[in-house]
Amino acid sequence: MRVAALIFLFLSTSIWANDCLYQTQERLCVGLTWVEGPFLDAYSKNVVTFQNIDTKEFKSPSSPVKFYAWMKMGTHEHGSRPIQTKMTQEGVYENSQIFFMGGMMGTWEFKLKVGNEDVVLFNLRS
């Protein structure tokens, strides 16, 4: 019985850890859900959430957030079209018009910039 409880605890902890793509310096857990896509050569849409790691309460970071697509290709790197970001509620951001161009010799990154933190949240091979 005790072993079962421990296994359950371990499993639920790992599920929670998987949901947390990144933990900000403010102890906010970052989550990402694709609503449309991710596609190549068409607009994709996602929702990024920030939750207090302890209370699980949705909370926007104290610094402004910026989402952008970035690609590293051998000797150079480049961005893509600007992403439209809308805060739909405290700690919840809807990103649309995310454009990953296909047929390139590199991997697209979906990135978050918040304060001095610059994080890759997702990768997509083009």
Q: Provide the binding-site residues for Cu ion, judged by CB under 5 A.
A: 71, 73, 104, 106
Spatial contact of 50 and 19, defined as CB atoms under 8 Å apart: no
* CB nearer to Cu ion: pick between 104 and 119: 104
* CB nearer to Cu ion: pick between 50 and 108: 108
Q: Residue 116 Cβ, how far from Cu ion at the closest point, in Å?
A: 26
Q: Residue 70 Cβ, how far from Cu ion at the closest point, in Å?
A: 10
Position 88, amino acid: T
Q: Residue 34 Cβ, how far from Cu ion at the closest point, in Å?
A: 21
Strand boundaries in 19-80, DSSP class E = 22-23, 28-36, 43-52, 65-73, 76-79
